[in-house]
Amino acid sequence: MKGNPNSHLTAKERDKVSYPTRKLYNMGVIEGEVLDFGSGFGKDVEFLNSKGFNCTAYDPHHAPEYPDKKFDTIICQYVLNVLLPEEQAEVLMSVSELLKPTGKAFFTVRRDLKRQGYRTHYVHKEPTYQCNVKLPYKSFFKNDFCEIYEYRHFTQVDNGKEGIFENPSPDAKLISELATVYSIYDKYPVSNGHALVIPKRKSTHYFEMNDKEKTACRIMVERVKNILEKKYQPDGFNIGFNMYEAAGQTVFHTHIHIIPRYKGDVENPRGGIRNVIPGMGDY
């Protein structure tokens, strides 16, 4: 990111495994194929591989080959604290996309930061950024120095929280997820790749969402559109939502449709969404 070019300078050259990774290992929660997202110099990867795990390193600076498969366990240690909010969103979405449907991810954040913002790194003498981070995920472990959050796909969690819409089906295929919104494929698609972006907090329509949720939806819509372009190569998109029964809304919880369009999928596509009223597409 142009506003935070030195986040990689915060990676520490350790001579042993990090505290949260050792903690997770000792608690027996690391399973299957493992990804260290934001692996830095790779000491945690080295440790886990020495313990018999198949652990992959990914770090934009130190191990930049992006993974091409999904993982049972993903660890993300002290990464979010050194990133700007938009960069944090990128990490949360990426981890959700790289996690197997029944997998678990563990995000560790610092709890001992006294001053937030930019500062001059005491070794590299370059400006680096740090901030406190709180996530709406299960707090798995906490002490005075750090907190470990456990993340699972929203489709796999019975959240049971008042004000949140009914849980999506565990069979729903999650595309991507942020702290406040998620995306799945439509159960009754009108085209190949038809997707939905849905806020987690219950609201009747788009204009009942708060600004944070609207921003998250905007980020997610763009993310999902890019994913669908790569996967399905559509020729266009219809993107929008229905508001109230008169406009065709049948599920009264905010959801944004991202509908890939393909040449020849209708006889005459002219007018696009104007065709919600028959005959009004041609003008």
Range(s) within the chain of domains with CATH label 3.30.428.10: 174-276
Beta strands, E only, 67-192: 71-77, 99-110, 117-120, 127-130, 138-142, 146-151, 174-177, 181-185
Token couple for 251: 């599920």
pLDDT at residue 157, rounded to an integer: 85
Q: Which parts of the chain register pLDDT below 70?
A: 1-3, 6, 9, 11, 122, 124, 159-166
- Give me the catalytic one of 153, 194, 255, 257: 255
Token couple for 120: 């001059």
Distance of alpha carbon 74 from the chain centroid: 13
Residue 208, class by beta-carbon neighbours within 10 Å (0-12 exposed, 13-18 middle, 19+ buried)? middle
CA 35 to CA 199: how far, in whole Å? Answer: 27
Q: Active site includes 255?
A: yes
For the chain, the farthest-separated pair of C-alpha atoms sits apart, in whole angstroms, at 70
Range(s) within the chain of domains with CATH label 3.40.50.150: 7-152
Residues 6 or more apart in contact with residue 18 via CB below 8 angstroms: 43, 44, 77, 78, 108
Residue 44, class by beta-carbon neighbours within 10 Å (0-12 exposed, 13-18 middle, 19+ buried)? buried
Q: Please, what is the Cα angle at 62 between 59 and 65, to 5 degrees?
A: 60
What residues form DSSP beta bridges with 125? none
Contact 62, 40 (CB under 8 A): yes
pLDDT at residue 164, rounded to an integer: 61
Chain segment 117-138, per-residue pLDDT in tens: 887 776 767 877 889 999 999 9
Phi, psi (degrees; rounded to nearest 5) at 21:
-70, -40
Q: Enter the CATH code of domain 174-276.
A: 3.30.428.10
pLDDT at residue 71, rounded to an integer: 98
pLDDT at residue 161, rounded to an integer: 59
pLDDT at residue 47, rounded to an integer: 97
Which candidate, 208, 200, 195, 206, places its Cα nearest to that of 178?
200
Element (H, E) at 45: helix 43-50
What residues form DSSP beta bridges with 45? none
The helix-helix angle for 211-232 and 85-98 (nearest 10°) equals 50
* pTM of this structure: 0.90
Burial 211-247 (b: 16+ CB within 10 A, else e): eebbbbbebbbebbbebbeeeeebeebbbebbbeeee
Residues 6 or more apart in contact with residue 91 via CB below 8 angstroms: 37, 38, 76, 79, 80, 83
CA 175 to CA 186: how far, in whole Å? Answer: 11
CA 211 to CA 98: how far, in whole Å? Answer: 28
CATH topology of domain 7-152: Rossmann fold (3.40.50)
pLDDT at residue 166, rounded to an integer: 62
pLDDT at residue 276, rounded to an integer: 85
